[in-house]
């Protein structure tokens, strides 16, 4: 029967908190201990455990007479012993014992005065320049880095068996005496062989190709061996096990949860582990716990030094889990605080251009649209307009399912900027999309105003504002002379709304007064590009739009500097898109289906197989596919080709023909993924669909179903992997973008989900972005801290402010 250790544990922890003043229980600890131990001892049957129990002198303690330091040492010993008592002793498992590994805190060596956590690792004994260079390659240059250089995993060597219990094939640990050690030749290699024994028997251990161990494993030494048990001539044998001499030092390589560090060429696992043990013992204690004590206690988090040492050399699984929790929480709360403070800085910066919303202009615009805005569009538009009227610059993330109508909302906002005499910019990730936005915006505007001039890249409309409203398209592909001309107009403030690609954030582009920047498809742009666009104006309002639905918590974490708006409703009349995952042998019937749809007046997309990231190769493959389809499969139909290597003029020409119904099928590389909008397109066929992520597949599907006709989406997969099949199965079942995003996140993990790693965000080593509960907790705590003490100026928040300055050096206000 397990012993109830809780009362004792609680009391000892209290004693620790009270500074070892023997005040945790009324009447003193000794009396309490005596009673507790006399009860506990009756439940312990296992001899080794009993021995340890006696050694701790719980039954006849003399705590009262110990010095402060001795008390501390003793309490920590008992605390680390207690978890073993709690484990029920299994049947036939009698000799099982857990080796205790904790080192009392008071024995930890203190680092020399002049050295600090930020000293280079070469100050550590045992780290030569050579080793330092190798560690540097792993991103470890200071002592602090080393403390945060965590093992990938742990091997559980904590359960000690007797030799008679060893089972072949298992990872086992024994404590035994060396009876004999000698050099032998095994397979032509000089090796070490030892025979060790305990009360229950003997066993052989061999280390191939390592004759030098003989000296260390001398006869009569007591050793701990941990490793897989093999069989040799019918008898168990340890082959190259981890080994350690049992002395009064703490075990590092055996008999415990043993850390496995990321390996680096030229650093032996044993060497690195020993080194880490030394570093953790010597330095973990000097880390200041930066979490406010109130918070740490309320959330029952481990103290930082303990969390660090337990993350490396845990005493048991439970402490290891608690250590990881504490460290993950640290990362997330620092991330949250950093993001929140960025937002605060940004909003405190000198005011942008406050807009007065010209209601008449807005009303005219909305009235002349070919449709009514949905309720969600109305709501989001008023959120945006309210932001624009404020003296702080807006920073808002607009999420909306593909086809939910984000563009028209952005257009209304851009129009308001123009109406107020300011400039607006709209940045799209590809030229095709920029052109499409330009086309759409011009189309909307032409319904409410009169087209005055229409050059290729520059339109102007009268009737809406007191002066003509000019809209320009700036993409990399236009002629140099024209580009220069556009740039001059932009600089002179003669263009109200500029739509473009990255070309917008290039050097030559300067706005006279950019007041609103809209960024479409945020996930395609890094944080740096977003801020580059911001730099083009004097604190412009920023609206970021994305059709990749990001689960809310995650959005709040990664884009926590942005306010969130969601269009959670599709325009009326949209139908569910019938989705089917097709097997290779169904290709012909897919083609037949496509033919019938075209005969019925619909149009179709065919997305080419994903070949490589290179646009050149992608384009070549698409061209080949196009040739094949137009000559051999659909010779009677009108096919067009779209890929990233075509000039803007060519692309535009193809898109125009497709949109106006002069093409039946558009064969395209995955560039068509986002944004392209053709109402009559009712069929989407995606080749090698198993190679795309869920969000991407969903984007493809979003290209159809824009009109009122029933639309279809077919996914072809030649030889899908297991994950590929899982994705296809999900996309077939699920239409909701948010639900898909959650699934995608689950399948791919956040790193891949967001494409390249988010620049500008601190590293997450322990935390997982998929851990929603912890994310939420960290966010709540960060918000709470900020509301209580916005500048983290209170004395109890100083360490936190300092740590924040360290991990987010760019926000200077913390340091
Ligand atoms: P996305 O959010 O994917 O960028 P778009 O802005 O491209 O969506 O809009 C998709 C299509 O729906 C466009 O053709 C657009 O004109 C149309 N649309 C937008 N809002 C509405 C609405 N309220 N009612 C009907 N159609 C709309
Ligand atoms: Mg769009």
H or E element that contains 471: strand 469-474
- For 118-127, give one letter per residue: b (16+ CB within 10 A) or e: ebebeebeeb
More confident residue, 616 or 122: 122
Whether 352 shows a pLDDT value over 70: the answer reads no
> pLDDT value at position 435?
85
Chain-centre distance of CA 775, in angstroms?
A: 11
Q: Collect all residues with Cβ–Cβ distance below 8 Å to 231 and sequence separation of at least 6.
A: 168, 237
Which residues surround the ion ligand 2 when the cut-off is CB under 5 Å?
675
Whether 334 shows a pLDDT value over 60: the answer reads yes
> pLDDT value at position 739?
80
* Greatest pairwise CA separation for the chain in angstroms: 101
Q: Is 706 helix (H, G, I), strand (E, B) or coil?
A: coil
Q: 140 in ligand 1 pocket by Cβ < 6 Å?
A: no
185-202 residue pLDDT tens: 988 899 999 999 988 999
H or E element that contains 472: strand 469-474
Whether 456 shows a pLDDT value over 80: the answer reads no
> pLDDT value at position 107?
46
List Cα–Cα distances, 19 to 12, 99, 289, 301, in angstroms.
11, 28, 18, 19
Whether 778 shows a pLDDT value over 80: the answer reads yes
* Residue identifier of the C-alpha nearest atom 16 of ligand 1: 405
Q: 405 in ligand 1 pocket by Cβ < 6 Å?
A: yes
Separation of 172 CA from ligand 2 center, angstroms?
59
Q: Which ligand is nearest to the CA of 408?
A: 1
Q: Give the separation between CA 338 and CA 344, rounded to whole angstroms.
A: 10
Whether 752 shows a pLDDT value over 60: the answer reads no
Atom index in ligand 1 nearest the CA of residue 567 equals: 2
Q: Collect all residues with Cβ–Cβ distance below 8 Å to 744 and sequence separation of at least 6.
A: 693, 694, 695, 753
Q: Give the separation between CA 302 and CA 252, rounded to whole angstroms.
A: 22
Q: Give the separation between CA 782 and CA 425, rounded to whole angstroms.
A: 33
> pLDDT value at position 480?
86
pTM beyond 0.75: the answer is no
Contact 206, 240 (CB under 8 A): yes
Q: 408 in ligand 1 pocket by Cβ < 6 Å?
A: yes
Q: 279 in ligand 1 pocket by Cβ < 6 Å?
A: no
> pLDDT value at position 174?
92
Least confident span in 31-45, 623-637, 754-768: 754-768
164-178 residue pLDDT tens: 999 999 989 998 999
Q: 674 in ligand 1 pocket by Cβ < 6 Å?
A: no
* Residue identifier of the C-alpha nearest atom 10 of ligand 1: 403
Atom index in ligand 1 nearest the CA of residue 436 equals: 7
Q: Which residues make beta-bridge pairs with 97?
A: 160
> pLDDT value at position 794?
93
> pLDDT value at position 531?
67
Q: Is 777 helix (H, G, I), strand (E, B) or coil?
A: helix
pLDDT band at 781 (very low <50, low <70, confident <90, very high): very high
Percent of the chain with pLDDT over 70: 87
Whether 814 shows a pLDDT value over 70: the answer reads no
Whether 106 shows a pLDDT value over 50: the answer reads no
More confident residue, 199 or 304: 304
Separation of 114 CA from ligand 1 center, angstroms?
65
Phi first, then psi: give them for residue 253, nearest 5 degrees: -100, -15
Whether 592 shows a pLDDT value over 50: the answer reads yes
pLDDT band at 811 (very low <50, low <70, confident <90, very high): very low
Percent of residues in the chain assigned helix, strand, coil, to nearest 5: 45, 20, 35
> pLDDT value at position 91?
40
Q: Which of 369, 372, 373, 405 to mutate to test the pocket of ligand 1 (most atoms within 8 A of CB)?
A: 405
pLDDT band at 247 (very low <50, low <70, confident <90, very high): confident
Whether 538 shows a pLDDT value over 80: the answer reads no
pLDDT band at 84 (very low <50, low <70, confident <90, very high): confident
| Mean pLDDT of all residues belonging to the chain | 84
List Cα–Cα distances, 716 to 589, 626, 724, 732, 734, in angstroms.
12, 17, 11, 12, 17
Least confident span in 504-518, 545-559, 691-705, 730-744: 545-559
Q: Give the separation between CA 669 and CA 395, rounded to whole angstroms.
A: 33
Q: Which of 378, 403, 442 to mutate to test the pocket of ligand 1 (most atoms within 8 A of CB)?
A: 403
Whether 660 shows a pLDDT value over 80: the answer reads yes
> pLDDT value at position 114?
72
> pLDDT value at position 110?
58
Give just the sign of the alpha carbon dihedral 88, 93, 94, 97. Answer: negative
Q: 72 in ligand 1 pocket by Cβ < 6 Å?
A: no
Percent of the chain with pLDDT over 90: 38
Q: 549 in ligand 1 pocket by Cβ < 6 Å?
A: no
- For 637-669, give one letter per residue: b (16+ CB within 10 A) or e: bebbbbbbbbebeebbebbeebbeeebbbbbbb
Q: Collect all residues with Cβ–Cβ distance below 8 Å to 188 and sequence separation of at least 6.
A: none
Residue owning tokens 């999309």 = 433
376-435 residue pLDDT tens: 999 999 999 999 888 888 888 898 887 889 999 999 999 999 998 899 999 988 777 888
* Residue identifier of the C-alpha nearest atom 19 of ligand 1: 405
Atom index in ligand 1 nearest the CA of residue 373 equals: 23
Contact 805, 815 (CB under 8 A): yes
> pLDDT value at position 809?
67
Whether 813 shows a pLDDT value over 60: the answer reads no
Whether 808 shows a pLDDT value over 80: the answer reads no
> pLDDT value at position 523?
58
Contact 424, 514 (CB under 8 A): yes
């Amino acid at each position: 029967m397990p012993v109830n250790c809780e009362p004792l544990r609680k009391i000892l922890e209290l004693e620790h908190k009270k500074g070892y003043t023997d005040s945790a229980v009324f009447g003193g600890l000794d009396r309490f201990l005596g009673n507790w131990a006399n009860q506990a001892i009756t439940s312990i049957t296992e001899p080794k455990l009993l021995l340890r129990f006696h050694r701790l002198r719980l039954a006849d303690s003399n705590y009262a007479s110990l010095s402060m330091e001795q008390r501390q040492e003793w309490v920590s010993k008992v605390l680390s012993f207690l978890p073993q008592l709690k484990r029920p002793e299994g049947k036939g498992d009698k000799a099982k014992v857990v080796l205790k590994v904790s080192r009392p805190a008071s024995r930890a060596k203190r680092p020399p005065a002049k050295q600090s956590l930020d000293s280079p690792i070469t100050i550590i004994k045992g780290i030569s320049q050579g080793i330092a260079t190798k560690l540097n390659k792993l991103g470890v240059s200071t002592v602090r880095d080393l403390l945060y250089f965590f093992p990938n995993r742990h091997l559980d060597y904590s359960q000690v068996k007797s030799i008679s219990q060893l089972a072949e094939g298992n990872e086992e640990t024994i404590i035994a005496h060396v009876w004999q050690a000698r050099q032998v030749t095994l397979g032509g290699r000089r090796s070490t062989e030892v025979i060790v024994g305990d009360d229950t028997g003997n066993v052989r251990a061999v280390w191939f190709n390592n004759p030098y161990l003989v000296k260390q494993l001398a006869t009569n030494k007591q050793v701990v061996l941990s490793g897989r048990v093999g069989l040799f001539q019918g008898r168990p044998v340890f082959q190259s096990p981890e080994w350690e001499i049992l002395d009064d030092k703490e075990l590092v390589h055996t008999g415990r949860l043993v850390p496995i560090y990321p390996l680096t060429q030229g650093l032996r696992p044993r060497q690195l582990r020993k080194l880490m043990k030394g570093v953790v013992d010597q330095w973990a204690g000097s880390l200041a716990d930066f979490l406010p004590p109130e918070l740490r206690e309320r959330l029952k988090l481990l103290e930082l030094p303990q969390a660090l040492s337990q993350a490396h050399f845990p005493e048991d699984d439970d402490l290891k889990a608690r250590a990881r929790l504490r460290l993950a929480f640290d990362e997330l709360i620092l991330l949250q605080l950093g993001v929140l403070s960025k937002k605060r800085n940004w909003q405190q910066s000198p005011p942008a251009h406050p807009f007065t919303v010209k209601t008449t202009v807005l009303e005219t615009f909305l009235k002349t649209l070919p449709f009514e805005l949905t309720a969600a569009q109305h709501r989001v538009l008023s959120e945006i307009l309210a932001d624009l009227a404020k003296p702080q610059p807006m920073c808002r993330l607009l999420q909306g399912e593909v086809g939910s109508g984000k563009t028209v909302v952005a257009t209304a906002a851009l129009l308001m900027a123009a109406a107020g005499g300011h400039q607006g910019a709209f940045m799209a990730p590809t030229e095709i999309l920029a052109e499409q936005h330009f086309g759409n915006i011009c189309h909307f505007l032409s319904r409410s105003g009169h087209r005055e001039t229409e050059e290729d890249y520059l339109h102007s409309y009268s009737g809406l504002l007191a002066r003509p409203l000019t809209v320009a398209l700036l993409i990399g592909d236009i002629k140099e002379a024209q580009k220069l001309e556009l740039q001059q107009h932009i600089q002179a403030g003669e263009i109200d709304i500029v739509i473009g690609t990255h070309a917008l954030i290039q050097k030559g582009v300067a706005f006279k007064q950019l007041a609103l920047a809209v960024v479409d498809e945020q996930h395609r742009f890094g944080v740096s590009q977003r801020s580059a666009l911001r730099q083009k104006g004097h604190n412009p309002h920023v609206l970021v739009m994305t059709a990749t639905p990001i689960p809310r918590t995650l959005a709040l974490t990664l884009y926590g500097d942005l306010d969130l708006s969601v269009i959670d409703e599709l325009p009326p009349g949209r139908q569910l898109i019938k989705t089917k995952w097709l097997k290779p042998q169904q290709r012909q019937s897919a083609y037949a289906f496509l033919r019938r749809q075209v005969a019925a007046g619909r149009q179709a997309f065919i997305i080419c197989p994903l070949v490589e990231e290179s646009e050149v190769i992608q384009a070549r493959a698409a061209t080949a596919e196009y040739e094949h389809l137009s000559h051999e499969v659909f010779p009677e139909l009108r096919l067009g080709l779209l890929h990233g290597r075509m000039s803007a003029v060519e692309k535009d020409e193809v898109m125009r023909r497709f949109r106006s119904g002069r093409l039946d099928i558009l064969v395209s590389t995955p560039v068509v993924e986002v944004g392209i909008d053709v109402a009559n397109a009712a069929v989407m066929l995606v080749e090698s669909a198993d190679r795309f992520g869920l969000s991407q597949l969903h984007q493809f599907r979003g290209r159809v179903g824009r009109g009122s006709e029933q639309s279809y989406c077919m996914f072809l997969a030649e030889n899908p992997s297991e994950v590929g099949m899982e994705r296809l199965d999900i996309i077939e079942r699920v239409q909701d973008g948010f639900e898909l995003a959650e699934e995608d996140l689950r399948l791919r993990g956040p790193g891949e989900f967001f494409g390249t790693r988010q620049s500008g965000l601190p590293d997450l080593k322990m935390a997982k972005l998929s851990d929603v509960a912890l994310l939420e907790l960290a966010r709540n705590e960060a918000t709470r801290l900020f509301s209580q003490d916005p500048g983290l100026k209170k004395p109890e928040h100083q360490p936190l402010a300092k740590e924040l300055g360290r991990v987010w050096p760019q926000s200077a206000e913390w340091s």
